[in-house]
Amino acid sequence: MFQQLKKYSDFSLLFLRLVVGIIFIVHGLQKISMWKMLPNAEISAGVILLMKILSVVEPLAGLFLILGIYIDIAALILTIIMVGAIAMKIFVFKVGFTALNATGWEFDLVLLASNLVLLFGGSGKLVLMRSRTETN
C-alpha cells in the first residue's frame, strides 16, 4: 500500500513548497511593517539592516519555492535564515524549545527541516525551472 503512495511524492513536495513559501512570504512582509517602528526603537543599526534585508529576502525566497524556480538556492538561503533564527532564540533571547509566554523555537526547527528536505531531497517534478543539480 505505501509503495503505491510514492507516485504522489511530487504532489507532497509541491504542497511542502507551497506551505513553506507562504509562511516565509507572510513573515517577511510582516517585517516590512516594522520599518517605520525601527528608527524609533532602541535597536542597533545592524539589527535594523538585518530586518530590512530579511523583509525582502524571505518573501522572495518563499515566492521562488512556490513558483518552482531556483528552489535549491531559495532553500539554502532559508536554511541559513532558520539556523540564525534558532540561534538567536536559544542564545540571545534564551527561549526554550517550547515556551508559555513566547514562541519557542520548535516552529523554526520544522521550517529548518522542511528547507533541508527541499535542499537535499529535491523539489519534485512539479516545478517551473529544474535545478542544475537535479538530474531527474
Structural domain boundaries in the chain: 9-121
Distance of alpha carbon 58 from alpha carbon 74, whole angstroms: 9
Question: Does the pLDDT of residue 136 top 70, yes or no?
Answer: no
pLDDT tens, position by position, 19-28: 999 999 999 9
Distance of alpha carbon 32 from alpha carbon 107, whole angstroms: 21
Phi, psi of 69 (to 5 degrees): -125, 140
Half-sphere exposure of 123 (CA within 13 A, CB side): 28
Please say whether the beta carbons of 73 and 64 come within 8 A: yes
**DSSP code, position 131:** -
Question: Does the pLDDT of residue 135 top 60, yes or no?
Answer: no
pLDDT tens, position by position, 80-132: 999 999 999 999 989 999 988 878 999 999 999 999 999 999 888 988 876 65
Total-model pTM: 0.88
CA distances (Å), origin 27, targets 8, 54, 129 = 29, 9, 25
Which 3 state secondary structure label does DSSP give 135? coil
